[in-house]
A and B are shown apart, each in its own frame.
Chain A
Amino acid sequence: NAGVTQTPKFRILKIGQSMTLQCTQDMNHNYMYWYRQDPGMGLKLIYYSVGAGITDKGEVPNGYNVSRSTTEDFPLRLELAAPSQTSVYFCASSSQEGLAGTYNEQFFGPGTRLTVL
Chain B
Amino acid sequence: QKEVEQNSGPLSVPEGAIASLNCTYSDRGSQSFFWYRQYSGKSPELIMSIYSNGDKEDGRFTAQLNKASQYVSLLIRDSQPSDSATYLCAVMLGYSTLTFGKGTMLLVSP
Q: Are A107 and B46 in contact (CB under 8 A)?
A: yes
Chosen A-B contacts, 10 in total, with CB atoms closer than 8 Å, are A40-B8, A42-B100, A42-B103, A45-B97, A90-B43, A103-B95, A106-B46, A107-B46, A108-B43, A110-B42
Q: Are A104 and B95 in contact (CB under 8 A)?
A: yes
Q: Are B34 and A105 in contact (CB under 8 A)?
A: yes
Known: A45-B98, A90-B43, A108-B44. 15 other contacts (CB 8 A): A41-B102, A42-B4, A42-B103, A43-B44, A43-B88, A43-B100, A90-B44, A96-B95, A101-B51, A103-B32, A103-B51, A104-B92, A107-B46, A109-B43, A110-B43
**Secondary structure dominating the interface of A:** loop
Measured in the bound complex, the distance between the Cα atoms of B90 and A45 in whole Å is 12
Question: Number of contacts between A and B (CB, 8 Å)?
Answer: 47
Residues of the B chain whose Cβ atoms lie less than 8 Å from the Cβ of A103: 32, 51, 95
Q: Are B102 and A33 in contact (CB under 8 A)?
A: no
Residues of chain A at interface, number, CB under 8 A: 21
Interface mask (A37-71 → B, CB under 8 Å = 1, otherwise 0)? 00011110100100000000010000000000000
Of chain B, the residue at the smallest CB distance from A43 is: B100
A75 on interface, CB distance cutoff 8 Å: no
B45 on interface, CB distance cutoff 8 Å: yes
